[in-house]
Structures are given as structure tokens and as C-alpha cells.
Chains A and B, each alone.
Chain A
């Protein structure tokens, strides 16, 4: 329990550091030589949410904990404006297939090129923050799944083509909250589950 909550804190602190760092980088924005015009940008990615779960084995005394690995499918599309040569802002809409929750996160998103190489490979920072909705979720009898806050910071590599489009590979941390109320068993008055999905998202996609 203690170990798990520490990890969770680490993740949060890490996320915060990254945000600070990304915003600090923004200040160092360098002037570009060629004239730049803001334009529409789309980044569509598909990938997996990797993680694990540590849970109590019921009725075990002394308490026994078990571990299971988790992998869920994730699809998302970022639509926005390339405001500056390095900076794009917009909205991200996605679908995440957790085993018993199908959530639709809608988020505000930022993409920023941190490092560029002469070979047209860019390292970019990405940040999405929003809310995961339960619109596509179908619940079994007695279950009621509600979505929750979503935060998704991370880094990616952009392999730009001459045409202006690019291939994307990103590695991010995704935090998604959810709440499920459950059918009541014998003599139960109230039952619910608070979920926090902490996942590593590895995605592959295209940008144009």
C-alpha cells in the first residue's frame, strides 16, 4: 500500500517537472528565418496503454497481494493549429479500451518541438489534460461507470517527410480516473470503486 502510494506521488511530481520544463523551453523559443504562417495540424495515433495492477486477494489472512499486467488499446487524434514553427495547440479526442471501461477522453493539448536534427527528426513534448467521458461505455446490470480527469504528458519523436507530413512515435504517461458504482450484494448498503489508471502509453501515428 505504502509502496504504491509513493509511486503514485513520484508520477505526479515527475509530471509536474515535465510541465515546468516544457514551459521553460517555450521561453527559449528562437526566431525562425523563413516566414511562418499558422496552419491546421492533425496528429492521429494508435497504441497501447501498458501497466500493471497490485491487488488484495480477498479473504486472504494474512493479506496476500497479487500482480497482473495490463495492456489496453488506445486511439487518439489531435487537431489543432501550428501556431509557431515549433508549437501546436488544439484539442485531443480519443478512445481508450480498458477491460471494463470504454472511455472517451476529450482534452486540451499542446505539442512542442524540443530538439531538431538536420535529418528532420524532431523530439517533441506533448501534453493533454481533460476529462474522460463514459459515452461509449455500456454497463452490466447494476453497474454504473463514470469517467474522470485525464492527464497525459510525455515525449515523442517526429520523422518528417518532405511532403510536410510526418511519422510519430511517442512515449507518454497517462493518468485516467473513473468511478464505478456496483450492484449490492447480501446486506450491502452501498458499494463503489474508485479507479485510477496509471499507464505508459506507447503510440505510433501520423501527422499532416
Chain B
């Protein structure tokens, strides 16, 4: 484009504006007219309209094979996330290295932090002859290069398809002095073709605990007063884990968070690079077997782990991403019950303040219709909070959602008149949600960054409240759990509602009579 006139060194245009300049527009138009041989604009518009219809929705829901825009990730990323919550732990992914690059970038794009993981870089010959050599060399190299305190091994599909046996491979590698005999190398088989990231999370937690606690059932394990807590796969882990620790501190409970990624995904910029930061210490992880109880914040992230923990004689309690007043009440009561300590005065005040805030703003939320999508636990927690606010969760969708989950959501909806128009969609994707929103309109969508395409197509405002959030920064630093967290969520929802009202009333001379200063 030698005749480009728009770009100049004095004022460099970025892609937002550069390609709207006349010479680019002309180029695009010419390309379209002379080379693309596309359908006419009218035909495109007609089909686009058709995809919004009830008829299309039926075809869409009759889909059997193809999944379009799923709201789930794969097992390994969940397992890697779980592993990164332990002190000095390097996730070692047995399989092809491309997968690992994906997990790392995915997490980094959300948390805006680097995160470490290595792979055994299996190639074609490893696929044919098995990946044992890659494991032996890989563990040795990782140990030498990155000096971890623990290496957590997980797998990609490639290793799973050929059936590599991690337990045997690791023993073999230790036999060849890849790492010292007593060096902790917990592992989890995490095929992406089974379940999703929440299952991977569960597998890795169980893998780590198995390593430290042993496999055998032992209901008579000696107990102390401490309590374990497993947060589950949570994009708000930085804010939430810290909030949980604060709550435990106020109670005076000795609490061990099993897999605490809050420091690892939020390292300070002070001139020192921390390849591993914070995390649950290996000592504490080992000792955690003696806790009297374990709480899971996300039931669907921990079914196997909880079963395993139960077999060590602990009480277990499970929640579904508890958000809002009642859900936080339940959590605190459980903590109080398990620890025998009263709910701290400070938290009681925070509850009053949260209720007060909801009272101040409820008119703006009342009867507003929401589509909610995300992980099964998030959907449950979010819907519960919406019902509490007098808002109506209408479409609740989770690609990882099961029939059991659907029933659980339905039960929640049945508990409130505001849930009357709600329905759960397990195993469905965002393309299904698109049809749902077009045929049964909602006022707002709650989800993650992927929802922005839905927002664009349907013109329904999106509220980003769950992982991954790529296109907004730092939300993960603010908790969504506890009364303080509920307040954050409330404010985020309200902000979007008010922005929406402003955006709908800001045309000068036409709608700005309602462009009010006070809302």
C-alpha cells in the first residue's frame, strides 16, 4: 500500500481507526467485490435474522455432534491450577508441549501474572514407543533447571491415549535418579476427553493428598482443631482466598486452604522474580490429614477429593460457590459449628452492612431477568444470590452441568417465586444460550469474557463475574465470597445496570431528558 496517506509518524493510528480510513475501506470493498464471491448483503442479513428465530432455536437444540463456544476448559488446566496452589510446586505435564502453553497463557490472560509449568514434550516417537524416556529426562531437567520443592505430574490426552502409567513411570524415573527418592512427585491422570477443568482440579487435589496422606482408609486418624478448606477452580481466587483467610482469622480458626493460589497469581513488583510464591506449605498439606473437617467451596470441583478425605475420618461439608447473604450465613454457621466458635462481631456488622446496601439498591434489581452461565457451582451460587436480590435467573447454563446439577438448580429455582421463569441447561453451550436469549429475552447476561460476543449479537449487557475474564483487568483481586465479596458482586451488577441506563439515555436532544445525575 504505497499510497497510504492516513498513517503518519506524528500521529500514529492504531487498528481501531487506521482501517477505517478511506484507502483501507476501499481496499476491503474491492476485495469483497472482486475476490470473495460472498452472498449478497441482503442474504446475509436474512440468514442472520433467521438465526434469531424460534425455528432456528429448535434446530440448534437438536444439535447432536458439534459443540459451539463451550463454557468449559479441559482437565489438565484445572489440575495445573490446583497444583500451583502448593508451595514451590512445578506442574509437570506429561504429554505434548503445545497443550501446556495453552494452559499457561489462558491463566495468564486472566490473572495478568506469569505462571510456571513444564511439559515432557512428547513427540511422534514417544507416541509410538511410550513416553517413559520423556518422563525420566523431563523430571531430571525440571528438577535441575527450576529447583521446585514439589513436582506435580499431570497428563495431556496424548499420554492418556497411549496409556502411559504415571505411577510406574515416576517410580522408574526416581529409580534412574531423575529426582531424589524422597522428593514429592504427586500425580493425577487428567485426560481432556473426560469431564472438564473442574474434574481435573478434583483429580489433582486428590493426587496431592494421596501422596502425603497415603491411599489407605483410616477412619481413626488422630484429629486436632484445625479445619481444611478447598476453594475449587475459581477465577477470583486471589481475592477470595485472602478473604477466606481473613474470615478464619476473625473466627480464630486454624484453617488450611488446600491449594491456595492467591500469592502465586498475585506476586508483587519489587524487583524480585518469584517463580513460585506462597501456596499451601507442604508441611501444612501433610498435617492437614489431622484436621477435624474439610470444607469444599465448590461441590462439583471436589467429589472424589471429599470422598477420599472422608475416608480419613474427617467431617466434610460442601458448598456451591456461596455468594450473597444466606449463602454466606450458611458458610459462617458451618465454620462456627465445626470450630465451636461464635460468629465474630465484625462479620455480623459486615452482614448488616451488606443487607443495608441491598436494601438501598434493590429497586434497580427487582424483577430484572438474567442469563447466567459458567461452572456448575458458580451458576448455583450466582442464581441463589440473584433470587435473594429479587432478580430472576432465567437461563442457567453450564457446559459442565450434569442431570444431577440441573435438578439441583431446579430445586433452587423452586424455592423462590423469582425462580419461576428459570430453567437449567446442563451440557449446553453458548450457541444454545444465544438462541435462548433471542427467543426469550433477558435484561442482563452474567458470565465471562466469552459472553461479549453474545452481548454484541443480542445487545443484552454482559456482566463479567466468572473465569475467564480476559478483557477487563484485576477483577480477580476483589473477593466474591463473604459479605464483602457479595457487596463487590452487587456493586458490579449495579454498575452495569446504571451504565446501561446511561447508555440508553444519552442521545443529545432525543433521550437525554432521562440522562440523570442521580440514579
Same complex origin of A and B: no
Task: List A residues at the B interface (Cβ < 8 Å).
Answer: none
Binding site for A on B (CB under 8 A): none
